[in-house]
């Protein structure tokens, strides 16, 4: 599939003249911090402490080895890795080579991984051999023969299969050459990231970003958070999500900060790491902030160094924002964005606490936002709900499947988020709902249609609908409503889960409650009234 984007000369001239896009790439900024801080600690990964010079050597070795096995500019390198040093180095090696970095969420399984690798035409796939009990090598043994573009599987750990290569061997291949990789010409408007995101359709959507769109996002956040050189960024958010990738694998090298990573979320351990490493800033979805603030370890460690906690990806209770600032001196700043447009709005560190607690912030620098009526498409007045439209220098340059662009953008270049919100008189936005039929579980988007399609294929199921049910920890969880076929035995929760697990979908997509229903509430047009189902399950949870 040829790589096509929406990028045009008019966009380049506009955002370049306004100062949001430039000619530098991430590689240029990496070279600058390397020259200045070569022998200072750049990265802390568990018991590994790596200097900028050591990281540069590792990146160079990976780039040399990947080049030797045939990776060229524009090729897609996919990786399904946790927050490890290997992930960071691989991402930077891709940037150095002009290859396209393709992160895949580690919890994705056969169904999602096969689709992403096939549509993205990945040439290399890198994963742990085993992580958190899941065998990635075994999964790829099932998939690799069905992926014509895939040349090499690389595993962190010793492979059992001779066709696979270990990550250590890949690095050793590069080191054995003893040469410095010579980067090809790379333009700041070249596509460098392919990131798949769940949405309203069953299949993930491949989002394309350039150096400039990502750099603009990083520097916008750094400015709004008033980040200074010399700080320490703590990153527990997955590197394979847009937030973890940007603010973990890229931002530290742009503002000359140190990176401390965590691969498996543990609130008590997070508190200990923040104290030990004197971390100054972090970012994560609501469960991260909630877990951190409620950790008993906070009373045992000095965490006064942490002053900024960016939070988004799921509804953020106002009391969490207030508690963070009042009890711990942390500027917890809400933000709203997506893989397509990383930060649409955000709260600044000097914003009033009321705005931080009750809104998702004002538009990021250079970002234009409209709130339009769902029926007419006309702008609505302040305080009135409507769909959020956005355009600006952080916006992605199109989907991997260009046919998806037609419904996502209008003729004036506005991206239709399908999220619902309202803007106050001061320009601050509050997200109130979404047209997208998805569930946001701990910051992770779950495609409702995909799960429903699978349930409808069950021999007992006549109708099925999956809706969000509120959860104090994860924000939302999935509840399946099912009407069984006439004469069929009732479907049990255990049957439903076993059936879905056979389909090899990601674990986080599994409904966590089953409600059997005799008749679905329907609209006049014959559609299931999911709003009624959401009220029903919320009422049952409240009454339990």
Q: What is the per-residue pLDDT for 81?
A: 98
pTM value is: 0.88
Cα–Cα distance measured from residue 279 to residue 231, given in angstroms and rounded to the nearest whole number = 7
Say yes or no: domain 27-186 is CATH 3.40.50.980. yes
Cα–Cα distance measured from residue 122 to residue 112, given in angstroms and rounded to the nearest whole number = 14
Q: Are 106 and 238 in contact (CB under 8 A)?
A: yes
Cα–Cα distance measured from residue 252 to residue 231, given in angstroms and rounded to the nearest whole number = 9
Residue with structure tokens 């694998």? 249
Q: What is the per-residue pLDDT for 524?
A: 53
Q: What is the per-residue pLDDT for 117?
A: 98
Q: What is the per-residue pLDDT for 436?
A: 67
Q: What is the per-residue pLDDT for 438?
A: 75
Every domain of the chain and the residues it spans: 27-186, 438-543
Beta strands per DSSP E along 184-257: 191-197, 205-210, 232-235
Q: What is the per-residue pLDDT for 199?
A: 47
Q: What is the per-residue pLDDT for 3?
A: 84
Cα–Cα distance measured from residue 25 to residue 214, given in angstroms and rounded to the nearest whole number = 10
Tokens of 287: 């469960």
Q: Which long-range contacts (CB under 8 A, 24 or more apart) does 370-375 make?
A: 370/414, 371/421, 371/422, 371/423, 371/429, 374/420, 374/435
Question: Is the Cα dihedral 16, 21, 25, 28 positive or negative?
Answer: positive
Domains 27-186 and 438-543 share a fold: no
Report mean pLDDT in 10-residue bins for the chain, 544 residues: 88 98 98 98 98 98 98 98 98 98 94 96 98 97 97 98 98 97 97 82 86 98 96 97 96 98 97 98 92 95 98 86 96 96 97 96 98 93 95 98 95 95 96 78 79 90 93 92 95 96 90 96 73 92 84
Q: Are 372 and 378 in contact (CB under 8 A)?
A: yes
Cα–Cα distance measured from residue 199 to residue 450, given in angstroms and rounded to the nearest whole number = 10
Tokens of 182: 């010579």
Per the rule left: phi > 0, alpha: psi between -120 and 50, beta: everything else, 466 is beta
Query: For the structural domain made of 438-543, what CATH number should be given?
Result: 3.30.300.30
- Identify which of 426, 302, 416, 285 has the alpha carbon closest to the alpha carbon of residue 361: 426
Beta strands per DSSP E along 410-455: 415-423, 429-434, 438-441, 444-447
Cα–Cα distance measured from residue 206 to residue 190, given in angstroms and rounded to the nearest whole number = 16
CB within 8 A of 530, min separation 6: which ones?
437, 465, 467
Dihedral in degrees, nearest 10, Cα atoms 275, 279, 281, 284: -60
Q: Are 388 and 419 in contact (CB under 8 A)?
A: yes
């Amino acid at each position: 599939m040829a790589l096509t984007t929406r990028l045009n000369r008019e966009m380049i001239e506009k955002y370049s003249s306004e100062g949001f896009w430039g000619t530098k790439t991430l590689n240029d900024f990496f070279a600058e911090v390397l020259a200045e801080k070569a022998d200072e600690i750049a990265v802390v990964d568990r018991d590994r402490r790596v200097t900028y010079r050591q990281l540069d050597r590792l990146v160079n070795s990976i780039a040399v080895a990947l080049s030797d096995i045939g990776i060229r500019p524009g090729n897609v390198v996919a990786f399904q890795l946790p927050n490890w040093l290997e992930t960071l180095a691989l991402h930077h090696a891709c940037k150095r080579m002009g290859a396209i970095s393709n992160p895949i969420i580690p919890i994705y399984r056969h169904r999602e991984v096969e689709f992403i690798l096939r549509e993205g035409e990945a040439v290399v796939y890198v994963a742990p051999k085993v992580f958190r009990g899941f065998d990635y090598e075994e999964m790829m043994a099932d998939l690799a023969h069905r992926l014509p573009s895939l040349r090499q599987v690389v595993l962190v750990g010793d492979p059992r299969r001779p066709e696979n290569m270990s990550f250590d061997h890949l690095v050793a291949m590069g080191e054995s050459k003893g040469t410095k990789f010579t980067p090809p010409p790379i333009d700041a408007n070249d596509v460098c990231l392919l990131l798949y995101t769940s949405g309203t359709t069953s299949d993930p959507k491949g989002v394309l970003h350039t150096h400039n769109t990502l750099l603009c996002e990083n520097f916008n956040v750094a400015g709004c958070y008033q980040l200074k050189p010399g700080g320490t960024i703590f990153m527990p958010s997955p590197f394979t999500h847009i937030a973890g990738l940007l603010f973990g694998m890229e931002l530290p090298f742009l503002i000359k900060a140190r990176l401390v990573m965590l691969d498996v979320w543990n609130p008590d351990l997070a508190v200990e790491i923040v104290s030990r490493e004197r971390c100054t800033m972090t970012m994560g979805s609501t469960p991260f902030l909630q877990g951190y603030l409620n950790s008993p370890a906070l009373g045992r460690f000095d965490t006064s160094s942490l002053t900024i906690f960016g939070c988004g990806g799921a509804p953020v209770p106002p009391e969490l924002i207030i508690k963070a600032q009042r009890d711990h001196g942390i500027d917890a700043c809400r933000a709203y964005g997506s893989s397509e447009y990383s930060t649409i709005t955000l709260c600044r560190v000097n914003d009033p606490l009321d705005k931080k607690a009750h809104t998702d912030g004002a538009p990021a620098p250079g970002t234009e936002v409209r709130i339009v009526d769902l029926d007419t498409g006309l702008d609505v007045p302040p305080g009135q709900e409507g769909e959020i439209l956005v355009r600006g220098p952080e916006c992605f340059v199109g989907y991997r499947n260009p046919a998806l662009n037609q419904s996502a953008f209008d003729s004036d270049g506005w991206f239709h988020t399908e999220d619902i919100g309202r803007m106050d008189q001061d320009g601050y936005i509050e997200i109130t709902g979404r047209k997208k039929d998805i569930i946001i579980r701990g910051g992770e988007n779950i495609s409702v249609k995909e799960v429903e399609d699978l349930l409808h294929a069950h021999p007992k199921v006549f109708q099925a609908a999956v809706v969000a049910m509120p959860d104090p920890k994860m924000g939302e969880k999935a509840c399946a409503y099912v009407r069984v076929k006439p004469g069929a035995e009732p479907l049990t929760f255990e049957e439903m889960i076993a059936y879905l697990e056979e389909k090899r979908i990601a674990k986080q997509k599994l409904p966590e409650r089953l409600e059997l229903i005799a008749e679905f509430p329907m609209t006049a047009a014959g559609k299931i009234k999911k709003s009624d189902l959401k009220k029903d399950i919320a009422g049952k949870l409240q009454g339990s």
